[in-house]
Amino acid sequence: MFPSRFEYVAPRSLEEALSTLAGRGDEAKVLAGGQSLIPLLKLRFASPALIVDLNRVPGLSYLEESDGHLRIGALARNRDVVASQTLEAGYPTIAAAAPLVSDPIVRNLGTVAGSLAHADPAGDWGSVMLALGAEVTVRSASGDRTIPVADFLVDTFTTSLEPTEVITEIRVPKPEGSSGGTYLKLERKVGDFATVAVAVQLALDDGRIGRAGIALTAVGPKNIQAIDAERSLAGAEPTPESFQEAARLAADAASPISDVRGSADYKRAVVRTFVQRGLDRALELARAS
């Protein structure tokens, strides 16, 4: 399989990339890891006239903590996230998810930013970033804007990114105080996209639950933030009953379809079980932190 013909540019600076996109954004596609885009080109689901390859732009590969955030540069690879030693303690949800995204070879190229921009409802990072309350910083030739991930992910393969914009970084607020979280993913086989996955993040405030983040993968048109479940937890005691109730509400928020990976009922049941297990684990980590 071959992509249809396109022009290719590999700008050496972000400014150059942005000025190219300012002129021709509508007919262009940005290339990062290529692990979603190139398959789409080969299948001819996308046929852009121009590919703007970001990979030669320097200074976008960082993964670092500063000003109370974990900052993930647009070209930080999934492999860098897996390899990072610093995430386990502060960002256990990210550390749990990273090794479950695709396989080690695909992770050598695939980026977190590319995954968000791709907005596949079965993508793992969308849920992780929703649960963590992350933001995406995007830039065009006319300036920057910062968008909460909840507003960035609009629909299946659709984001609020303009064709003239690129994501420059993802900003994850450092979970405060006693907090914990995890990512649970059911796969048919290793390396597969999720049948169902769940991201859970929990902060304790004086023994009660402070902020709770719950988001669901592969059970709707996009990654779903289980808002009612989150609200039911905020301020509540972390008891088996409150977790059960949150799990029920999260399962209600899911709208899975029956497909080769399982029936809708089955997937909903997995959401419920995973949210409950995820909350148990998050609580354990929060109490230990």
Please count the CA atoms within 13 angstroms of the CA of 210 that sit on its side-chain side. Answer: 15
Question: Mask: binding to another protein, 57-96, rule CB under 8 A, as x and -?
Answer: ----------------------x---x-------------
As measured in angstroms, the least distance from the Cβ of 41 to another protein is 8
Amino acid at 240: P
Residues linked to residue 259 through DSSP beta bridges, in sequence order = 262
CA dist list (Å): 61 to 20, 111, 145, 157, 264: 21, 9, 20, 24, 39
Residue 35 as a binder of another protein (CB under 8 A): the answer is yes
Question: Burial level of 164, CB count in 10 A (0-12/13-18/19+)?
Answer: buried
Q: Between residues 14 and 150, which has the closer beta carbon with respect to ligand FAD?
A: 14
Residue 224: which of ligand FAD, another protein, none does it interact with, CB under 5 to 8 A by kind? Answer: none
As measured in angstroms, the least distance from the Cβ of 276 to ligand FAD is 23
**Near another protein by CB under 8 A: residue from 49, 105, 154, 234:** 105
User: Which residues, 6 or more positions from 66, have their beta carbon under 8 angstroms from its beta carbon?
Assistant: none
Residue 95: which of ligand FAD, another protein, none does it interact with, CB under 5 to 8 A by kind? Answer: none
Question: CA angle at residue 266 from 260 to 269, to 5 degrees?
Answer: 145
Q: Between residues 104 and 235, which has the closer beta carbon with respect to ligand FAD?
A: 104
Q: Say if CB 30 and CB 167 are below 8 A apart.
A: no
As measured in angstroms, the least distance from the Cβ of 265 to another protein is 28
Q: Could you give the angle at which helices 240-253 and 264-288 cross, rounded to 10 degrees?
A: 140
As measured in angstroms, the least distance from the Cβ of 120 to ligand FAD is 6
Residue 4 as a binder of another protein (CB under 8 A): the answer is yes
| Phi, psi angles (nearest 5°) of residue 164 | -90, 0
Residue 267 as a binder of ligand FAD (CB under 6 A): the answer is no
Tell me 49's DSSP state. Answer: S
Residue 93 as a binder of ligand FAD (CB under 6 A): the answer is no
Residue 212 as a binder of ligand FAD (CB under 6 A): the answer is no
Q: Between residues 36 and 178, which has the closer beta carbon with respect to ligand FAD?
A: 36
For the record, the structure tokens of 143 come out as: 């300036």
Residue 32: which of another protein, ligand FAD, none does it interact with, CB under 5 to 8 A by kind? Answer: ligand FAD
Torsion angle, alpha carbons of 258, 100, 81, 79, to 10:
-110
Residue 172 as a binder of ligand FAD (CB under 6 A): the answer is no
The site for ligand FAD (CB under 6 A) is made up of 29-37, 54, 74, 101-102, 106, 109-111, 113-115, 117-118, 123-125, 161, 166-167, 191, 193
